[in-house]
């Protein structure tokens, strides 16, 4: 139960970090909710996946980036300027989730 709650906490923090700039830019509430749910669920995937014996600190960034890639491709069709920040944010937050999970769990 402790692991589940810590994973939820990591997801809520990552989601909040991602949506704060979106709220400040007054983006669509569906986009904000989608981003929050993505980063809320991502720690469950990152912390439970064994990715080809990849180093623990690299696993989060690779998983976060690869899971966000379909969304980034769809968004880039409409708005090409938002793709690079989304790529960077998914890699950075994925790495931070992996690091937090490694040290907290």
How does pLDDT run across 39-51, given as a tens digit for each residue? 999 999 999 998 8
C-alpha Rg value of the chain to the nearest Å: 14
Q: List the Cα angle 37/102/56 in 5-degree steps.
A: 95
Q: Where are the alpha helices (DSSP H) in the chain?
A: 2-24, 29-48, 56-78, 83-104
Please give the biggest Cα pair distance in the chain.
42
How does pLDDT run across 53-91, given as a tens digit for each residue? 888 889 999 999 999 999 999 999 998 999 999 999 999
Q: pLDDT > 90: what percent of the chain?
A: 87
**Total structural domains within the chain:** 1
pLDDT of residue 105: 87
């Amino acid at each position: 139960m402790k692991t589940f709650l810590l994973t939820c906490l990591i997801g809520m923090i990552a989601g909040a970090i991602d949506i704060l700039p979106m709220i400040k830019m007054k983006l669509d509430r569906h986009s904000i909710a989608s981003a929050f749910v993505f980063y809320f669920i991502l720690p469950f995937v990152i912390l439970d996946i064994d990715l080809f014996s990849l180093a623990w600190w690299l696993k989060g960034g690779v998983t976060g980036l690869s899971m966000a890639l379909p969304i980034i491709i769809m968004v880039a069709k409409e708005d090409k300027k938002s793709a690079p920040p989304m790529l960077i944010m998914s890699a950075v937050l994925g790495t931070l989730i992996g690091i937090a999970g490694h040290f907290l769990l």
